[in-house]
């Protein structure tokens, strides 16, 4: 629900997977993190170093005066309630993502930040010393049983200036950070900048080459690419190559960890998997090649493993050497480099940069500079989700801004909310909260809008476009409607009546007509459910009684009467306790994140009966909200602020929907926000809770890619995240690029329509359920809320829809719907070339095959892609641009235009 009310959300020190009820006890393993008692402060983010009274440690311990130099390990400390946590980790980024375990050091007693004297556990972990000039970003992950919480910086309280540093998608604006000053680089871990050392001594116990483990279907890191016969990389002259002549033609030696010719899979390994690591040399030039491998933290002089490589392909000019490296028995990452011998000559092939990825460079001496081969946990148990979801193309509609089909429901000058709610409002009726209608459909929303400026969009407008075939022509097959229930605002997240349609949008009869029209056109409809909070003006609360017309005569809301059956439903707070129109009995309510217009519910039995269990006296015929609308024909729900509702709620709710009044095809999709931490999403994607979530992480990665950033960044983020998700739900993730809560995609791309088209090409050819936010398909732009909620620019309303953009969306959606391999086929990376800005991947399903190659640069390129899984002579047709290409020597060579791509289908 990001920023959908009266401004941005408050910055949070802690983004928690589940906001649990106020704890009554502390116990490790009870799945309850007491997040409000976690403490950490970074001295460089604030001149003040916080110290616990009577203790000598600081929360970020570097050198004296807080200076951190390249010879200094950095100790990170946190405080947690004594006995509360089962484990903790530091997750940091220094060019690649790392995890460091924290250890509970001791228990101490302190009065911290003016709290009562309390017992705390001191947890501590160490970030290894880093190269001078490195900026390290970090956060702390804490666990209590299966519950994860994230401890991050709080903007405003711990100001963390970053200058002009360009941040990748793995960073978060609220991460802590420190920058390393000049000093000597350590040699303890092969992730640091190069340091000349003595020749490493191999460990004899790990010389047996392991066999490649077969990979299950749809495991994201497995491609099992056949051995290449021809190199797809820059060549080096091989004249004069000979075995035993004490000379190695170093210019021909090559390895690139982002190219599947040389590493398969490209991503991280899970337990039981192996990676094929390959090196090119001149044919008959090298007598032996070995691979030195270190576990994180192992000293450079003592590799953890040593694997001999053997020649697996030789075309007379070049030889391809290969070793198979299994995932370690621990969760540690691995780091590797090559050692080559010919007679008495010894040389090394190491990564060419300090980011531990990409091509390599020859060195006559040992260098502590290695490629990273990550290790990730196995994904959680797979489970079934609605079968239609992986083939869904979702179209999101903000009803007030899509289409006005009935002007008779355009009510004007309606007073809502409280006497001081809209202070600062500049619209009609200001400073009072008076809802009004714009006279011009195409004018921009009022800013700040307070959610009470309307345009007149309604259900009739949606029905008209369903019947006219708009959605069928575009190719979408699912309509997701932002809230349509009775509410005071234009966004509808302040529900007044969960069983009634907003009078501005229509009524129940019009809703039924919409469902019938959608069914006739093969469209599913999902509704937005706001079960964490209601509206201040709702039948359930009725705030500020006497200030405005009582719409619910004969029914006492929680504010109106202490005897109201609804009073026990709401979290008590200060809203409504004072002023000229106070609640009865000096009672008041708590608004979600302080917004008084949206009072929070308590998760008690009466509320659960009302929303999903059935049997509430406040429900028509005892039917719960969820059941009422499912029986009226919707295909499922998108749940607002799902992360602000407890896991216990979702676990209790799912059986009612899946095995009670609903069935396995009823969708449960949640809005989960708080950063791209896979643990956050995975906590909700399990067989006990949700089917899918809004994948804001995909949006972030896709925007970065379309803006021309390194393809390897997208590939590593996407595949690392994918590896942590259950397989079937991953194919049903709601892959959005715009929404009502975020800046529109086109604006994030600096209103560059070529880049927008590139991003849509990426979105429509990867797994997941792509989502189109109304108007994106015709070039609508816009900043943050409310500018992201501009009206659809219908030509008959005086607008100017971009028909070329529409044609692009239509073509790509059509390809996805025509070729099932693009929606439900497996995916594996084939090409990552940061220098040429090229990115390619394979989609396959049974005998169906597709290859997608994208160019996010500003220059046209020729891409050579390893497709040795296809027989020579196989012809693939570019279904986006036209033209056919034939596999030769296990490769495809295709031209790829700037900021565009090809979709090759067999």
Q: Are 492 and 528 in contact (CB under 8 A)?
A: yes
pLDDT of residue 472: 98
d(CA 169, CA 695): 14
Calculate the CA 852 to chain-centre distance.
22
Per residue in 132-173, pLDDT tens?
A: 767 777 878 787 776 677 776 543 332 222 222 222 334 444
Q: Is 364 exposed, middle or buried (0-12, 13-18, 19+ CB in 10 A)?
A: exposed
Residue 702 structure tokens: 């896709």
d(CA 66, CA 186): 19
pLDDT of residue 3: 37
pLDDT of residue 642: 96
d(CA 168, CA 161): 16
pLDDT of residue 221: 32
**Is the peptide bond preceding residue 892 cis, with omega within 30 degrees of 0?**
no
Quick one: CA dihedral 449, 450, 452, 455, positive or negative? positive
d(CA 740, CA 355): 36
- State the DSSP string of 476-489: --EEEEPP-EEESS
- Helix, strand, coil shares, percent, the chain, to 5: 20, 30, 55
d(CA 370, CA 350): 6
Element holding 290 (H helix, E strand): strand 288-295
Altogether, the residues listed in the chain come to a count of 906
Q: Which of 291, 317, 167 is nearest to 703 (CA)?
A: 167
**Residues forming beta bridges with residue 902, ordered by sequence position:** 853
- If DSSP codes are grouped into helix, strand and coil, which group holds residue 720? helix
d(CA 75, CA 69): 13
**Residues forming beta bridges with residue 345, ordered by sequence position:** 342
pLDDT of residue 425: 80
d(CA 401, CA 419): 27
Distances (CA, A) of 873 to 178, 851, 891: 54, 15, 10
Alpha-carbon torsion angle 242, 248, 252, 256, nearest 10: 130
Residue 110 structure tokens: 């302190």
Q: Are 703 and 745 in contact (CB under 8 A)?
A: yes
Q: Is 546 exposed, middle or buried (0-12, 13-18, 19+ CB in 10 A)?
A: exposed
d(CA 838, CA 822): 19
Distances (CA, A) of 479 to 73, 129, 487: 53, 52, 20
d(CA 537, CA 544): 8
How big is the chain by its Cα radius of gyration, in Å? 30
Backbone angles phi, psi at 318, to 5 degrees: -125, 150
**Any residues with CB less than 8 A from the CB of 735 and at least 6 apart, and which?**
695, 698, 699, 763, 766, 768, 769, 770, 771
Element holding 177 (H helix, E strand): strand 176-179
Q: Are strands 734-736 and 769-773 parallel, antiparallel or unpaired?
A: parallel
Residue 564 structure tokens: 């109201």
For every residue of 44-99, which 3-state class applies, written as one string? HHCCCCCCCCCCCCCCEECCHHHCCECCCCEEEEEEEECCCCCEEEEEEECCCEEE
**Any residues with CB less than 8 A from the CB of 351 and at least 6 apart, and which?**
257, 337, 357, 358, 359, 360, 361, 369, 370, 371
10-residue mean pLDDT series, the chain (906 residues): 34 32 53 69 36 44 49 76 84 72 73 56 80 76 73 42 28 61 37 28 29 29 36 64 94 90 87 94 96 95 95 93 94 94 95 85 94 86 96 98 97 92 81 92 90 96 98 98 98 98 98 98 98 98 94 94 98 95 96 95 98 96 97 98 96 97 97 82 93 96 96 90 90 97 96 98 98 98 96 98 98 98 95 94 96 98 94 97 96 97 98
Number of helices (H), then strands (E), in the chain: 15, 44
Q: Which of 19, 40, 35, 50 is nearest to 81 (CA)?
A: 35
d(CA 485, CA 487): 6
d(CA 302, CA 294): 8
Q: Is 114 exposed, middle or buried (0-12, 13-18, 19+ CB in 10 A)?
A: exposed
- The HSE-up count of residue 434 (CA atoms within 13 Å, CB side) is 11
d(CA 687, CA 437): 45
pLDDT of residue 41: 59
Q: Are 698 and 710 in contact (CB under 8 A)?
A: no
Buried b (16+ CB within 10 A) or exposed e, 397-419: bbbbbbbbbbeebbeeebbbbbb
Question: Cα(first)–Cα(last) distance of the chain, in Å?
Answer: 42
d(CA 160, CA 167): 14
Q: Are 226 and 320 in contact (CB under 8 A)?
A: no
Query: Full-prediction pTM beyond 0.95?
Result: no
Q: Are strands 453-454 and 434-437 parallel, antiparallel or unpaired?
A: parallel
Q: Are 270 and 377 in contact (CB under 8 A)?
A: yes
């Amino acid at each position: 629900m990001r920023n959908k009310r009266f401004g941005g959300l408050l910055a949070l020190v802690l983004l928690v997977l589940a906001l649990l009820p106020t704890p009554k006890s502390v116990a490790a393993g009870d799945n309850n993190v007491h997040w409000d008692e976690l403490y950490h402060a970074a001295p460089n983010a604030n001149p003040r170093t916080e110290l616990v009274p009577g203790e000598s440690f600081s929360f970020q311990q570097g050198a004296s005066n807080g200076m951190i130099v390249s010879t200094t390990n950095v100790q990170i400390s946190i405080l947690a309630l004594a006995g509360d946590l089962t484990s903790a980790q530091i997750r940091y980024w220094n060019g690649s993502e790392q995890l460091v375990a924290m250890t509970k050091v001791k228990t101490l007693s302190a009065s911290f930040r003016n709290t009562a004297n309390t017992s705390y556990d001191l947890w501590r972990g160490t970030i290894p010393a880093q190269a001078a000039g490195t900026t390290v970003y970090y956060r702390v992950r804490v666990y209590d049983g299966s519950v994860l919480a994230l401890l991050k910086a709080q903007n405003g309280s711990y100001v963390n200036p970053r200058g002009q540093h360009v941040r990748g998608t793995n960073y978060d604006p609220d991460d802590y950070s420190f920058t390393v000053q000049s000093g000597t680089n350590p040699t303890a871990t092969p992730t640091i900048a190069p340091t000349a050392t003595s020749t490493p001594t191999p460990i004899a116990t790990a010389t047996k080459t392991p066999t490649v483990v077969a990979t299950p279907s749809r495991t994201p890191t497995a491609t099992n690419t056949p051995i290449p016969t021809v190199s797809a990389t820059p060549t080096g002259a091989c004249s004069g190559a000979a075995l035993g002549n004490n000379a190695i033609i170093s210019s021909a030696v090559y390895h690139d960890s982002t190219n599947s010719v040389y590493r398969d899979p490209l991503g991280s390994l899970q337990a039981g998997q192996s990676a094929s690591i390959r090196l090119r040399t001149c044919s008959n030039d090298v007598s032996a090649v070995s691979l030195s491998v270190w576990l994180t933290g192992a000293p450079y002089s003592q590799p953890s493993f040593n694997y001999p490589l053997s020649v697996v392909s030789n075309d007379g000019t070049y030889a391809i050497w290969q070793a198979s490296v299994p995932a370690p028995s621990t969760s540690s990452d691995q780091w590797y480099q090559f050692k080559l011998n010919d007679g008495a000559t010894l040389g090394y092939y190491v990564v060419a940069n300090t980011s531990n990825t990409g091509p390599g460079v020859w060195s006559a001496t040992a260098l502590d500079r290695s490629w990273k081969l990550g290790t990730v946990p196995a994904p959680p148990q797979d489970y079934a989700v609605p079968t239609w979801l992986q083939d869904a193309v979702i179209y999101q509609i903000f009803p007030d801004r899509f289409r006005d089909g009935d002007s008779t429901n355009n009510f004007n000058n309606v007073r809502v909310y409280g006497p001081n709610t809209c202070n600062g409002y500049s619209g009609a009726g200001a400073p009072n909260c008076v809802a009004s209608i714009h006279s011009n459909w195409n004018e921009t929303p009022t800013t700040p809008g307070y959610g009470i400026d309307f345009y007149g969009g309604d259900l009739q407008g949606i029905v008209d476009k369903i019947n006219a075939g708009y959605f069928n022509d575009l190719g979408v097959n699912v309509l997701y409607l932002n809230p349509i229930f009775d509410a005071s605002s234009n966004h509808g997240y302040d529900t007044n009546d969960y069983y009634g349609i907003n009078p501005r949008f229509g009524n129940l009869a019009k809703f039924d007509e919409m469902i019938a029209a959608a069914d006739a056109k093969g469209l599913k409809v999902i509704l937005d459910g706001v079960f964490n909070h209601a509206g201040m003006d709702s039948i359930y609360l009725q705030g500020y009684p006497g200030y405005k017309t009582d719409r619910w005569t004969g029914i006492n809301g929680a504010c109106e009467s202490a005897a109201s059956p609804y009073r026990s439903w709401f979290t008590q707070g200060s809203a409504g306790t004072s002023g000229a129109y106070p609640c009865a009995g000096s009672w008041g309510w708590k608004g979600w994140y302080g917004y008084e217009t949206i009072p929070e519910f308590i998760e008690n039995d009466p509320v659960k009966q009302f929303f999903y269990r059935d049997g509430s006296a406040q429900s028509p015929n005892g039917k719960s909200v969820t059941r009422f609308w499912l029986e009226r024909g919707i295909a499922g729900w998108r749940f607002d602020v799902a992360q602000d509702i407890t896991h216990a709620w979702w676990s209790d709710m799912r059986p009612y929907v899946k095995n009670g009044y609903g069935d396995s095809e009823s969708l449960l999709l949640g809005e989960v926000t708080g950063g791209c931490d896979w643990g956050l999403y995975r906590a909700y994607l399990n067989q006990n809770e949700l089917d899918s979530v809004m994948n804001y992480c995909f949006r972030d990665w896709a925007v970065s890619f379309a803006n021309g950033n390194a393809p390897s960044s997208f590939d590593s983020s996407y595949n690392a995240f994918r590896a942590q998700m259950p397989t079937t739900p991953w194919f049903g993730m709601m892959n959005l690029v715009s929404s009502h809560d975020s800046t529109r995609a086109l604006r994030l791309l600096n209103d560059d329509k070529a880049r927008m088209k590139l991003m849509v090409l990426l979105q429509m050819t990867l797994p997941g359920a792509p989502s189109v936010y109304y108007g994106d398909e015709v070039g609508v732009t816009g900043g943050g809320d409310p500018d992201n909620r501009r009206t659809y620019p219908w030509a008959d309303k005086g607008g100017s829809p971009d028909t070329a953009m529409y044609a692009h969306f239509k073509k790509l959606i059509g390809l996805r719907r025509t070729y099932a391999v693009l929606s439900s086929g497996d995916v594996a990376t084939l090409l990552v070339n940061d220098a040429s800005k090229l990115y390619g991947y394979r989609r396959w399903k049974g005998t169906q095959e597709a290859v997608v190659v994208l160019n996010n640069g500003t220059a046209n390129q020729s891409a050579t892609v390893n497709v040795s899984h296809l027989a020579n002579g196989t012809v693939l047709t570019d279904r986006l641009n036209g033209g056919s290409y034939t596999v030769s020597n296990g490769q495809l060579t295709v031209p790829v235009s700037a900021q565009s791509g090809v979709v090759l289908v067999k």
